[in-house]
Structure 1
Amino acid sequence: MGVQYPTWFGPDDLPLLGIVHVPDSGRARAAVVLCPPLGKEHVDTYRGIKALAESLADRGLLAVRFDYAGAGDSAGAQDDPDAVAGWLRSVVEAVGLARATGVSSICLAGLRSGALIAAAAAATEAIDSMVLWDPILSGRNYLREQRAQYTLSIGADDPSDPRVSILGGVLDPAAVSALGALTIDPARLSGVRTLLAVRTAVADTPAVRTLADALDGDEITLVDHEAFTNPASFHVALPTGHIREIADWIAEGAPATGTEVRLEVRDRARVASTADGRPVVETLEEFGPNGLFAIRTHAAAGGDGATHPTLLFHATAYEHRVGPGRLWVEIARSLAADGVSSVRYDRRGTGNTGVVDPDNPVALYSDGSDRDARDAADAAVADPRDLVMTGLCSGAWYSAAVALRVRPRAVILTDLILWSVYRRRSLREQLAPGMPAGDQAGGDLSARARIKALLQRHLPYPAWRLLGRFGVTQVPEVLLEALRKAGVPTTVILSAEDHAWFVGQRGEEGLRRLRRRGGDPEIHAVGFGDHPALHRDLRERIRTVTTETVLRRFGISVETERTVDTEHTAEVLR
């Protein structure tokens, strides 16, 4: 698997996050720069690209994974008008990082839109080989596809905002024009050894055949690849066989002898500045006995922020630490201006923590994940009263579950659907990899589900709540009451569909009971948006409520005016 070294690289005023995979021998025959896709596809394929990097290291090759400027954890704004130029410069900087290790033979490998970006950047770089992995051939077609998917599956955005949404991201109109103009030009790859890996459905289309004939390189046909780049659920099927094929092809063309790798790791970078010119600093850290990869954000010239008021983000399902549409990164850097540190981390089996084991995927809500969430909270701050925790869906549940043990200052729970304190074994089995998407979402039509629906409508509430206490069904009062007893102030943010789930699980009855006992959780029913928060305007509401809640819980007054979404307001349930 080699050894991975997270590091900042590139210009000091716009640092990029990279992860360099070095063979165990410390020597490399070639370097491979892996260019990821954009938006949701970047998040979904993160583990697969890491698996390729680990396979390359096993074959004696150095691999560089990285985030483009304005994407992932790298500095910059995702809606920058010059975003496309920034992505191209990021590829050039990543190639420079690879060359600085002393390895001279360079391969560029791009997945989906990453192939489009890599091919454009190749015009300025002397590379030896190129992998076009399930490539997007035209930026214009890509945007048409993304916008159609967004509209059909997510809905419409506020029309007064001119930015353009893709699944998992947002682009400035100028960037849309620049991306739409990109195409893969085979002339730029003249003399370069190439591999074209395309899906079965498009392998014989005129556009692909024209590109393949012009490249005159090698080809691989990708089978069932949609389950990797566009999964039906949060379980992403890694194409292990194709990853092995790609790694073998790259290794076959690499020089026979290796070069000793030289690498200068930067674990600290200035990623932004506050309005009054103070640096917003991020440090790369390792938490707990299992080496959880973490990034800490704070506005300071020195120190680690461990004694500051801190917001800890728990990631969702198998996603890495960036949050929906990069929201956790953006909130962290914004809060730094008000003296609030933030921590984002990867639990084992996700992101940059551990290795990718496709044959033994980590189960969601596992004992190991429980331990990781607790370790992250322990490492984030010295005093739990300096801690607020948040997350979406499973990340929200972990915020609440850990809060019951460490008693932080507050929790903010976004789009929570698991309201039990006790998790039944059947729940873990239901969410295990390989289950049908409907079962994972709780939407199966089994006899058990039908019986639950009848009980939900007709069972007296005390009996319904008793079932919730044993984890048989989801009753909001169960978790909210546990947090009340633990003395943890609680804010809940719910999209339209999650609020409907809350109401269906008789959450409003539970709220009335809680308030009679002196509990007063804040429930923000946004009234629009989707569960994974791919809706742009929902993310803006989450940003506003989260920021205001964190500052209020820490008693921080803000004199500077903040932008508030006035078009879509949230209903606070009282």
Structure 2
Amino acid sequence: MTGIVSTPAFLTDDGIPLFTVLTLPSDGSVRGAALICPPLGKEHNHTARGFKRLAEKLAAERIATLRFNYAGTGESSGSQTDPDAVDHWDTSITRCMNYLNDLGFPSPAVVAHRSGALLATNNSRVRTTSRALALWDPVDRGRVFVRTQQMLYAAISEGPEDVAVEPEHLTQLAGLSLHKQAARTLSRLTIDPESVVEVHNSNILALVRDDDLDGSLATAVENAGGTVKPIGDQAPFIDAIDPWFTDYPAEMPGVARWLSARFGTGTTTISPVATTSAVVGNTTDGRPVQTRLCTTDDGVIIWDTAILGNHESADRVLVSHSIGHDIGSGPTRFYTEMAFDVAARGGRMVRFDRRGVGESGQTAPEDTFTGLFTTPYVRDGLQILDEVDLSHAKVVAHVGVCAGSWMSAHAAIETASRLPGARSVAVVVNPNRWDLRPARPVPHLSRSTPAWHTPAWHAKVEHQRQRVIARCARDLIEVSARVRPRLARTALSRVRGFQMPDVFIDTIRRRGATVRLVFGPGDHDRFTRLDGYRSLARRRINVAVASSQTGDHSGYHTGIRDAMRRSCLEALGLTDASVVEADQPVHSPVR
């Protein structure tokens, strides 16, 4: 049986480098090609693994499938705050269509999801040359998308409203910072049903929510002979609440079958050449900053950013560890932009998608559940130290948010053990576990149990069960705050479930690494309730603590991201002074 191969690369044909992944059968024999236009912002973070799975299903049907990040989003170059961001997104779609044309596919099919459907249906190449169009849960008005994502950003924000000061020229969405001009441009976009069906006729699939079955888009598609299908609850797919659980929606196999039927039986063989490095910007003195792509033997994807030619010699290295199912670019693309900040100051940053997350490895049904804080979780996270040469480093800092901060602590300890001559730092951001010991994995409920009538029902029940377990653990942590004597805290910390910040930090220090703490408002309050400051003082432990008056737990808010950025640069001993010219946005094209 022919295998499936996904190849990450940069598209550097015309303009700024775009991150792409091409998925096809290993023998290169395909019946046609498809382009997946992903959603924007926080929804892209949550759905990336799902669309990798769709790409693999299409490749199994011998359809070469290209996925990409729009300019200024994810791992693509460009600034997310560019006033012309929407135009750059449109150009990104056109460039990907051109790439598939150059491979020999003049009329690719297009799958467009949520806000991606809004962008795709406004792209002239998609409207006029795509052979088939699948609109999945389409957002038909940009104004609605902007407003709902602004509301979500506000909903996840913490801290008093009177101190929440955002840059006046920006509009903050969940997972996306837009220039106000770009936000206005996006708000004006709509899906015109008549123009959508004008060319595609019956070769259009609309997957819509029940409330939209009688809407203008669904009606136009049906009248043109296309296919309209209702969809189930999409929340676990587009807005995963918990870091350990995501979802592969039930509609995915049907989308793959529908697209497969749009192609004939004849095949052609392609052998694309991948560009695995790109210059993503320049320092103020003109030195190019380069990101290299690396795929390990077992499929883990690594992004490695430094000044061109300095990857192996840079002596200050930052390694990021994402939360659970979150992809390597981080919340609101923080890690991607942090990589340029570090590299432009002479350092190096390494990002990766851990096994079973984002682009790493082939997808599997069990990807939907991640066993956080377990021994396998630590092992997978530490794998990055086996794959990247850090022998020249004088300072290695590991940063993570939430569950990623727990992993960053383990990675800092391991780095101290492997590189005794280097300074190892854990930048611990909004930790939700103050116990370094891996948890005993919670047994999963068997799918063979007769009560589970469908995989979807099983997944929902498993999800709720894990949330109850996590809630009980959090409640037990609060009990820890009532214990004051140092010896009692140390003794109680040996009991699983009781977690003490002072014992956690002291353990890291005793094993050769240093710690920097970063908190948003809610997590800072929790640290204080856990007697964090006083317990550290009783142990005479001095730890750098940065807190933001505004922020959120997962790191999407500008307040917590600014605090993270300063702490990472300070951990590496790099200046916080600007390295970007006033007229040069972060991740600008080469000039």
TM-score by structure 1 length?
0.89
Query: Do the aligned partners of 2:237 and 2:249 also contact (CA within 8 Å) in 1?
Result: no
For 1:112 and 1:284, how far apart are their aligned partners in 2?
28
For 2:133 and 2:552, how far apart are their aligned partners in 1?
38
For 1:330 and 1:473, how far apart are their aligned partners in 2?
36
**After superposition, where does 1:264-275 map in structure 2 within 5 Å?**
264-275=273-284
Aligned match for 2:343, one of 336, 353, 376: 336
For 1:95 and 1:317, how far apart are their aligned partners in 2?
32
Letter aligned with residue 420 of structure 1: D
Aligned to 1:87: 89
Letter aligned with residue 321 of structure 2: H
Quick check: 181-190 or 130-139, which moved more?
181-190
Aligned match for 1:469, one of 467, 481, 494: 494
Aligned to 2:263: 254
The change in CA–CA distance for 1:326 and 1:488 in structure 2 (over 3 A counts) is: same
1:368 corresponds to 2:376:
yes
Letter aligned with residue 264 of structure 2: P
The change in CA–CA distance for 1:391 and 1:453 in structure 2 (over 3 A counts) is: closer
Aligned match for 2:515, one of 490, 508, 514: 490
1:194 corresponds to 2:235:
no
Q: Secondary structure at the match of 1:348?
A: coil
Query: Do the aligned partners of 2:319 and 2:398 also contact (CA within 8 Å) in 1?
Result: yes
**After superposition, where does 1:18-417 map in structure 2 within 5 Å?**
18-123=20-125, 125-154=128-157, 157-189=164-196, 190-192=198-200, 193-200=203-210, 202-213=211-222, 215-287=224-296, 290-300=298-308, 302=309, 304-305=311-312, 307-359=314-366, 361-383=369-391, 385-407=394-416, 408-417=423-432
Q: Residues 256-292 of structure 1: CA distance to partner in whole angstroms, max 9, x if unpaired?
A: 11111131210110111111111110110134x5342
Aligned to 1:423: 438
Aligned to 1:4: 6
Query: Do the aligned partners of 1:199 and 1:225 also contact (CA within 8 Å) in 2?
Result: no
Deviation at residue 229 of structure 1 after TM alignment: 1.2
For 1:387 and 1:308, how far apart are their aligned partners in 2?
8
Query: Do the aligned partners of 2:109 and 2:133 also contact (CA within 8 Å) in 1?
Result: yes
Q: Secondary structure at the match of 1:220?
A: strand
Q: Secondary structure at the match of 1:331?
A: helix
Letter aligned with residue 378 of structure 1: D
For 1:100 and 1:418, how far apart are their aligned partners in 2?
50
Quick check: 55-64 or 473-482, which moved more?
473-482
Letter aligned with residue 550 of structure 2: F
Q: Secondary structure at the match of 1:533?
A: coil
Deviation at residue 378 of structure 1 after TM alignment: 3.4
For 2:213 and 2:578, how far apart are their aligned partners in 1?
57
The change in CA–CA distance for 1:274 and 1:215 in structure 2 (over 3 A counts) is: farther
Quick check: 383-392 or 521-530, which moved more?
383-392
Q: Residues 335-392 of structure 1: CA distance to partner in whole angstroms, max 9, x if unpaired?
A: 2111101100111000111111124544223433322322212333332644211111
Query: Do the aligned partners of 2:546 and 2:563 also contact (CA within 8 Å) in 1?
Result: no
Letter aligned with residue 530 of structure 1: D
Q: Secondary structure at the match of 1:263?
A: coil
For 1:362 and 1:353, how far apart are their aligned partners in 2?
14
| Equivalent pairs, count | 550
Q: Residues 300-336 of structure 1: CA distance to partner in whole angstroms, max 9, x if unpaired?
A: 2x36436542111111111110111100110111121
For 1:365 and 1:549, how far apart are their aligned partners in 2?
24
Q: Residues 204-223 of structure 1: CA distance to partner in whole angstroms, max 9, x if unpaired?
A: 34344444346541122111
Deviation at residue 299 of structure 1 after TM alignment: 1.0
Superposed CA RMSD: 2.7
Query: Do the aligned partners of 1:122 and 1:188 also contact (CA within 8 Å) in 2?
Result: no
Query: Do the aligned partners of 1:32 and 1:64 also contact (CA within 8 Å) in 2?
Result: yes
For 1:323 and 1:21, how far apart are their aligned partners in 2?
23
Q: Residues 441-460 of structure 1: CA distance to partner in whole angstroms, max 9, x if unpaired?
A: 8773x6x8767645643675
Query: Do the aligned partners of 2:520 and 2:550 also contact (CA within 8 Å) in 1?
Result: yes
Quick check: 163-172 or 481-490, which moved more?
481-490
Query: Do the aligned partners of 2:501 and 2:530 also contact (CA within 8 Å) in 1?
Result: yes
Query: Do the aligned partners of 1:31 and 1:104 also contact (CA within 8 Å) in 2?
Result: no
Deviation at residue 150 of structure 1 after TM alignment: 2.2
Deviation at residue 488 of structure 1 after TM alignment: 1.6
For 1:163 and 1:144, how far apart are their aligned partners in 2?
14
Aligned match for 2:548, one of 526, 548, 553: 526
Deviation at residue 35 of structure 1 after TM alignment: 0.6
Q: Secondary structure at the match of 1:425?
A: coil
Q: Secondary structure at the match of 1:537?
A: helix
Deviation at residue 70 of structure 1 after TM alignment: 0.2
Query: Do the aligned partners of 2:375 and 2:438 also contact (CA within 8 Å) in 1?
Result: no
Aligned to 1:570: none
Greater RCO structure (CA 8 Å; 6+ sep): 2
Q: Residues 507-541 of structure 1: CA distance to partner in whole angstroms, max 9, x if unpaired?
A: 123211332xxx32111122321101222232222
Q: Percent of aligned pairs with the same residue?
A: 27
Q: Secondary structure at the match of 2:556?
A: coil
Q: Secondary structure at the match of 1:137?
A: coil
Deviation at residue 240 of structure 1 after TM alignment: 4.3
Quick check: 469-478 or 219-228, which moved more?
469-478
Query: Do the aligned partners of 1:404 and 1:482 also contact (CA within 8 Å) in 2?
Result: no
Query: Do the aligned partners of 2:317 and 2:395 also contact (CA within 8 Å) in 1?
Result: yes
Letter aligned with residue 381 of structure 1: D
Letter aligned with residue 118 of structure 1: A
Deviation at residue 94 of structure 1 after TM alignment: 1.1
For 2:434 and 2:115, how far apart are their aligned partners in 1?
38
Letter aligned with residue 547 of structure 1: L
**After superposition, where does 1:510-525 map in structure 2 within 5 Å?**
510-515=535-540, 519-525=541-547
For 1:90 and 1:490, how far apart are their aligned partners in 2?
41
Quick check: 244-253 or 114-123, which moved more?
114-123
For 2:372 and 2:101, how far apart are their aligned partners in 1?
39
The change in CA–CA distance for 1:404 and 1:509 in structure 2 (over 3 A counts) is: same
For 1:91 and 1:366, how far apart are their aligned partners in 2?
40
The change in CA–CA distance for 1:369 and 1:443 in structure 2 (over 3 A counts) is: closer
TM-score by structure 2 length?
0.87
For 1:149 and 1:450, how far apart are their aligned partners in 2?
26
Structure 1, unmatched stretches of 5+, are: 564-574
Deviation at residue 169 of structure 1 after TM alignment: 1.1
For 2:295 and 2:380, how far apart are their aligned partners in 1?
12
Query: Do the aligned partners of 2:194 and 2:220 also contact (CA within 8 Å) in 1?
Result: no
Aligned to 1:501: 526
Q: Secondary structure at the match of 2:377?
A: helix
Deviation at residue 548 of structure 1 after TM alignment: 3.2
Aligned to 1:546: 568
Query: Do the aligned partners of 2:328 and 2:358 also contact (CA within 8 Å) in 1?
Result: yes
For 2:49 and 2:432, how far apart are their aligned partners in 1?
25
Q: Secondary structure at the match of 1:148?
A: helix
Q: Residues 437-489 of structure 1: CA distance to partner in whole angstroms, max 9, x if unpaired?
A: 69648773x6x876764564367553233222343222111221012212322
Deviation at residue 561 of structure 1 after TM alignment: 7.2
The change in CA–CA distance for 1:453 and 1:328 in structure 2 (over 3 A counts) is: closer
Query: Do the aligned partners of 2:314 and 2:347 also contact (CA within 8 Å) in 1?
Result: no
